Amino acid sequence: MNNTWQGYNSSLFYDELLTSSGNPRTAARGMINFLQRLPEEEINERRSAAELAIRDMGISFTVYTEGGNIDRNWPFDIIPRTITAKEWSKISLGLQQRTRALNCFIDDIYNKQSILADQLIPADIVLESTNYKPQCRGVSPRYGAWAHICGSDLVRNSNGKFYVLEDNLRVPSGVSYMLENREITKRVLPELFENYSIQPVDDYPSKLYQTLASLSPRETRKPCIAVLTPGIYNSAYFEHAFLAQSMGAELVEGSDLHTGDDDCVYMRTVDGPVKVDVVYRRIDEDFIDPEVFRQESMLGVPGIMRAWKAGNVAIANAPGSGVADDKVIYAYVPDMIRYYLKQEPLVDSVKTYLCMIEKDREYVLSNLDKLVVKPANESGGYGIMVGPHASAQTRREFAALIENNPRNYIAQPTLSLSTAPTYIDHTVAPRHLDLRPFILQGKDTWVTPGGLTRVAMTKGSLVVNSSQGGGSKDTWIVEGN
């Protein structure tokens, strides 16, 4: 064993690749043995090769700061994460189940509202949510699917069991990095792909295309699909361009589209207007149509909501789908599965305390040093307080926030997130991580084999978001184990 692995402690948390006694898990055995035999100089050379590939491929993300926007190269760890295909098949079924229930919920609350009438969920939680859009009432998209692309974040606790931490149904991002992680790993560790049977992820663009094409209002062999981006200054612009190119779709900004008198959406081209069948929106719904939402928006397309309601264009994800993104709504997803599908959840959610409920609020305020507190509608790791790592002053500030607006906060136990070997500063050390698989729902439902593994690169940190200094690694779903 080379010195980079000396002192690695896999006994403090559930480790993805090594048992508590330090032996490789079955799915990781070949990879661990290979990496431990590599000379230290060669491991560092391969890490440097990965960084060079990231620069050459232009893989970047944008961090917004008070001083301006900073483009950074994608932070990547060369040691893959492995999960057995047998274990993943159960998770995949659970994610499909969850996404179907969430789509049933969204379709219900914009139409019959039966789940509210039956008082399974308090009506005010839904109807007063900032993400509930009354402008979407009475619409039922094709196949009853509103959130066509869902990113549900998974974590593994100290018992090694997967839990869903949250659902992302507005504009989930990160899938391009999942694909690029695989390409980089193939470049720097090609030997491992000769000896492992790893489920591929590179068919995601074709699966996404099939999902979007199934939504087309026109029966046409090749529908016109447009990826609507806010533009080059958006943090996920790399992904917008990547997916458009990979699918053979059009990459457009709001000014490239217009709505005709026939309530159809058209794309401006040098050869004249071209009818658009499906818009894969990568902008927040509040900016998508100044006629309906923010009047000052220059990012959207005036009249696109009229075209969508008329059934002349499909929008993925549909406007209004963000109502199920609310972290308060998250607490009710197991009940949704039982209500709509008449099934028990196949993947558990994390225990969640709703600060709007007096009993829960009292518990949270008395145990802020043990809990993670989250705002209901933030993303990217912003606005979160990790109680055990927070100062007394921060806990007091959050207590005031909760008391001032209890509806806006939930709390969850501080999980002992799983770790995985991560190559940092010329040594291998355990770092906490999560996993974001992507679930597609249109005519059919499909789950990525694995997903985007995000890593907290700072020792002891539980925050994995790239905007907060996190990194990423390739995720292998390994057959035959």
| Tens of pLDDT, residues 381-425 | 678 999 998 999 999 999 999 999 999 999 999 888 999 999 998
DSSP state, 428?
E
Band (195; pLDDT cuts 50, 70, 90): confident
Residue 64 is predicted with a pLDDT of 46
Residue 123 above 50 pLDDT? Answer: yes
Of the candidates 242, 259, 224, 267, the residue with the CA atom closest to the CA atom of residue 183:
242
Whether 307 and 366 share a structural domain: no
Q: How many residues in total does the chain contain? A: 481
Q: What is the mean predicted confidence (pLDDT) over 446-459? A: 94
299 with 363, same domain?
A: no
Residues 239 and 303 in one domain: yes
pLDDT band at 464 (very low <50, low <70, confident <90, very high): confident
User: What pLDDT does residue 65 have?
Assistant: 45
Question: For position 1, what pLDDT does the model report?
Answer: 72
Last residue of some domain: 413, 441, 457? 413
- On the question of pLDDT at 62 being above 70, the answer is no
24 closest CA partner among 435, 415, 428: 428
Burial of 329 (0-12, 13-18, 19+ CB in 10 A): buried
226 and 300 in a single domain? The answer is yes
How many angstroms from the chain centroid is the CA of residue 479?
Answer: 24
Residue 239 maps to a domain? yes
Neighbours of 72 (CB within 10 A): 11
Nearest-angstrom CA–CA distance, 244 and 77: 26
Q: How far does Cα 33 stand from its chain's mean position?
A: 32
For residue 210, being part of any structural domain is answered with no
Tokens of 332: 């009710």
| Structural domain contains residue 472 | no
CA distance 265 to 467: 34
Q: For 72-95, what is each residue's pLDDT tens digit?
A: 667 899 999 999 999 999 999 999
Instruction: CATH number of the domain at 406, please.
Output: 3.30.1490.270
Looking at the structure, do residues 305 and 225 belong to the same domain, yes or no? yes
Neighbours of 57 (CB within 10 A): 16
Q: Does 295 share its domain with 243?
A: yes
- The residue from 283, 312, 341 where one domain ends is 312
Share of the chain above pLDDT 90, in %: 80
Assess whether pLDDT exceeds 50 at residue 364.
yes
Angle between helices 204-213 and 237-247 (to 10 degrees): 80
pLDDT in tens, 244-253: 999 999 999 9
Tell me which DSSP letter residue 318 carries.
P
Phi then psi for residue 313, to 5 deg, are -150, 145
Asked whether residue 418 is assigned to any structural domain, the reply reads: no
Residue 146 has pLDDT above 50, yes or no: yes
Q: Is residue 296 domain-resident?
A: yes
Q: What is the mean pLDDT of the chain?
A: 92
* Contact of 347 with 162, CB cutoff 8 Å: yes
Q: Give, for 177, the enclosing helix (H) or strand (E).
A: helix 175-188
- In the chain, the number of structural domains is 2
Alpha-carbon Rg for the chain, nearest whole angstrom, is 23
Residue 450 lies in a domain: no
Using CA atoms, how far apart are residues 81 and 39, in angstroms rounded to an integer? Answer: 21
pLDDT at 130: 87
Q: Are residues 223 and 292 in the same domain?
A: yes
Name the residue range of residue 283's domain. 218-312
Residue 294 maps to which CATH number? Answer: 3.40.50.11290
- List, for residues 327-352, the tens digit of each pLDDT value: 999 999 999 999 999 999 999 999 99
- Decide if 358 contacts 126 (C-beta within 8 A): no
Same domain for 307 and 359, yes or no, is no
Last residue of a domain, one of 382, 398, 413: 413
Do 239 and 306 belong together in one domain?
yes
Q: Return the biggest CA–CA distance within the chain.
A: 70
pLDDT over 70 percentage in the chain: 95
Whether 360 maps to a domain, the answer reads: yes
- Flag whether pLDDT at 468 surpasses 90: no
Beta strand 225-228 pairing with 250-252: parallel
Residue 256's identity, in one-letter code, is: D
Within-domain flag for 160: no
Tens digits of residue pLDDT in 427-446 = 999 999 999 999 999 999 99
Residue 461 pLDDT class (50, 70, 90 cuts): confident
